[in-house]
Chains A and B, each alone.
Chain A
Amino acid sequence: MLEEYMIDLGFSNQDIKQIKNIHTNNLYNFKKLYQFFQQLGFNNNEFIKVVKTIPNIVSTSIENLKSRITLLQKIGFNKLDTYNIIKEYPYILELSIDKINTKIEELEDLGFSKNKLINLISTNPNLLSKDISNTINYFNILNELGYNNQSIITIIDNEPSLIEADSKVISNKIKELKKLGFTNKDIIKITTLLPSVFLEDKDILKEKFNYLYEFGFEENDIIKIVKKVPNIIKNNYLEELESKIKKLLDLGFSNTNIINIINTNPNILLHTTENISDQFFGIKGLGISLEDTIKMINDLPLLLGYNLMNIDKKYKFYKDIDLEEYMLNNSKILIYNLDLIKTRWDYLTNNNYQDNKDDLFISDLDFYHKYKIYSLDLVKE
């Protein structure tokens, strides 16, 4: 008897009543249905869940169900994909073949390759029954921004929930970012790195950089930081934002110093807290006092990024020619390439101008006006 069979499988009396009220009483057909799902990889509980979700399936012919499986396999879904899709979205077994085919064609027209399509539908099988005119709308919106379809598909790959995003939400987010001063190119950079920006309904800058606002950064500063270093918007960098600022405070930098350092060189925010600390102590370890280290980095924030060997070599050279004090008070000279400085130093000493040490750091034009020679031309490559 059908009821006994269903109870043996695990259906409750209530489930049976609900299903039997609507559908046939044919044990043979029901057994065929169960075997069909067993072949797909479903266990009893999963089969019960499908039947409870779409009770109509009990009266659907096996041939009909097989035609949908054949279609999914033709599209490229393997057995596991098929199992997962039906488990996640049993309604697919009720969709017409035409509807499934039309949806696949619409997505292919947008540029989805077979693999991306499989990935997308495996993650969002309900897409097959949805109207994707909204998706097509926001593809158009993003095309106007400067995205090509393949780039859009890549960001959907990274953020699958985007496929069902409301085009109005995306449009509003773009308007909001433009109002803040971001260009189309900036927005593409930011949203490529973090596609979920499109889905966030809060003010993205206030949300992600609230700590910087509270610290004293202005909105324009933060916009410039994000424009310069869009990677900063990624969560892995943002997680440590507060600890990086606190580390700089612990090292002895004032609030004003920190705002200056980060505004001048926002790339610092990509370094880890440990890295910032190691670099600071690496510079101090060259024999520079704590106060001078702080002053030097404040004057030339690039120092927190340079290879310590690079800084060491320059520091030793300036020490050798008695310019240590000058360097400590004018750390911007550490930006000068040492080949140029050494070339100028050789010229000055060979021509008895060794007292004109300030001239090591003048522009090449000024050097020419004074010594009638372009120092850059003297540098041997």
Chain B
Amino acid sequence: MDILIRYGFSIEEIKNMMDTNDELESIPDKDILELINVLINIGCHEEHIMNIFICNPLCLSKDVKEIKRIIKKLKEFKIKHLYMVIDSNPYILNMSIEELDNLYKAKNDEGLSPEEITDYFYHNIII
């Protein structure tokens, strides 16, 4: 967890993250760094990454390949500024591809157009 300290998280914040995610201690720094790089690649700045990790420390336990699949799925939904959606809804990283597809389909069935569904992702709670 040295990487989290180097990144700027306080001891208190790390402790809270460990309380919420009891696997955090055993996650290798290289995996955390890989996730940070994935988030940077979609436009996240330090403040967004800190918000995402503090709000949803469980995402650090997720396989980075799975996170990349989620990001790919959100791109398929034509979401341009992914960092905004994930910063607003950090728990979206806990969802499965199937859940995201089901959510998209549900909104489609409600009569929303693809543009309206994209808008939905920016402005609503998605857990």
Interface residues of A (CB under 8 A from B): 185, 228-229, 231, 234, 236, 264-267, 270-272, 275, 278, 300-302, 305-307, 309-310, 313, 332, 335-337, 339-340, 361, 363-365, 376-377, 379, 381
The 5 closest A-B pairs by CB, nearest first: A337-B84, A305-B55, A363-B119, A307-B51, A307-B54
A336-B88, A337-B88, A365-B119 as given contacts; A302 in contact with B20, CB under 8 Å = no
Query: Given the complex, which residues of A lie within 8 Å of B60, measured CB to CB?
Result: none
Stretch at the interface among B29-37, B65-73, B89-97, B103-111: B89-97
The reply to whether A306 and B55 form a contact with Cβ atoms under 8 Å apart is yes
The reply to whether B58 and A231 form a contact with Cβ atoms under 8 Å apart is yes
The reply to whether A267 and B81 form a contact with Cβ atoms under 8 Å apart is no
Interface residues of B (CB under 8 A from A): 16, 19-22, 43, 47, 50-51, 54-56, 58, 80-81, 83-84, 87-91, 94, 96, 98, 115-116, 118-119, 122-125, 127
A264-B125, A300-B125, A337-B88 as given contacts; A271 in contact with B116, CB under 8 Å = no
The reply to whether A363 and B116 form a contact with Cβ atoms under 8 Å apart is yes
The 8 Å CB contact of B119, one of A236, A335, A364, is: A364
Q: A265-B127, A309-B50 are known; give 8 further A-B pairs, CB within 8 A.
A: A265-B125, A267-B58, A267-B127, A272-B19, A302-B55, A305-B56, A335-B88, A364-B118
30 contacts between A and B (CB under 8 A): A228-B127, A264-B127, A265-B125, A267-B94, A270-B20, A270-B21, A272-B19, A275-B20, A301-B125, A305-B56, A305-B90, A306-B51, A306-B55, A307-B51, A307-B54, A307-B55, A309-B51, A310-B51, A313-B47, A332-B125, A335-B89, A336-B88, A336-B122, A363-B116, A364-B115, A364-B119, A365-B116, A376-B80, A376-B122, A379-B84
* B55 CB to nearest A CB, Å: 4
Measured CA separation A84–B107 after assembly (Å):
60
Measured CA separation A332–B19 after assembly (Å):
27
The reply to whether B20 and A271 form a contact with Cβ atoms under 8 Å apart is yes
Measured CA separation A102–B22 after assembly (Å):
40
Chain A, interface SS category: helix
The 8 Å CB contact of A234, one of B22, B56, B88, B118, is: B22
Using CB atoms, name the residue of chain A closest to B84.
A337
Query: Given the complex, which residues of A lie within 8 Å of B98, measured CB to CB?
Result: 185
* A160 CB to nearest B CB, Å: 20
Query: Given the complex, which residues of B lie within 8 Å of A332, measured CB to CB?
Result: 125
Query: Given the complex, which residues of B lie within 8 Å of A229, measured CB to CB?
Result: 94
Measured CA separation A376–B56 after assembly (Å):
25
* B80 CB to nearest A CB, Å: 6
